[in-house]
Chain A
Amino acid sequence: AQRVTQPEKLLSVFKGAPVELKCNYSYSGSPELFWYVQYSRQRLQLLLRHISRESIKGFTADLNKGETSFHLKKPFAQEEDSAMYYCALGGTQGGSEKLVFGKGTKLTVNP
């Protein structure tokens, strides 16, 4: 079964500090992993996908298949990074392709 775990419901850091939002997944096949961000109860927006290996708004995420993790990192957090972050896993289950979301981590960046 596909499963995504984001162990931290809340994460609070100071501006300029490094931030890491954890995501672990469980999936027997070849995973596709994404990070979505939601600002102030607006729509969810795609932030990163692992196959792109890009950096968006200073965030990066590396897929670690050995640890089944896809942690989101930023070296210097900004106040505008405060938002809900959701990790998502794309895979095939029961013949259907589906995307499973973690429960989300609320990041607060304090001035």
Chain B
Amino acid sequence: DSGVTQTPKHLITATGQRVTLRCSPRSGDLSVYWYQQSLDQGLQFLIQYYNGEERAKGNILERFSAQQFPDLHSELNLSSLELGDSALYFCASSASGRSPLHFGNGTRLTVT
């Protein structure tokens, strides 16, 4: 158990819809990262937050947004969903940007 909790485990929704993925980092970790893993693209970095502030942005679409709350949990919002958004979405946390990441079990999103 990495200590990083992601909910829900699975999500099935239709195109055009909006979903929210939730992540609770390990106790004491201030950094939260979001990654998208699809079969053809591999592991893609989306965004990083540190203590509530956005720190780095990767290949995140404009339809996607995220935030980190004062209690350090984070949410990833995906809107106007397309079939190609179907993927595993991982959250990871770390004590600092150069520390090892601890990954959650992921949310498997299926867009039909």
Give A residues with C-beta under 8 Å from B: 32, 34, 36, 41-46, 49, 86, 88, 90-94, 96-101, 103-104
Contacts and interface: CB of A to CB of B under 8 A. Distances in A.
Contacts of B55: 96-98
B34 interface: no
Q: Could you tell me the dominant secondary structure of chain A's interface residues?
A: strand
B105 interface: yes
A44 B50 CA distance: 21
Contact residues of B: prevailing secondary structure: strand
Contact of A103 (B42, B56, B94, B104): B42
Q: Which of B50, B94, B100 has the most CB of A within 10 A?
A: B100
Nearest to A98: B56
Give 7 nearest A-B pairs by CB, closest first: A97-B97, A90-B98, A43-B103, A44-B103, A103-B42, A46-B100, A43-B105
Interface string B86-112: 001010101011111111111000000
B92 to A, nearest CB: 8
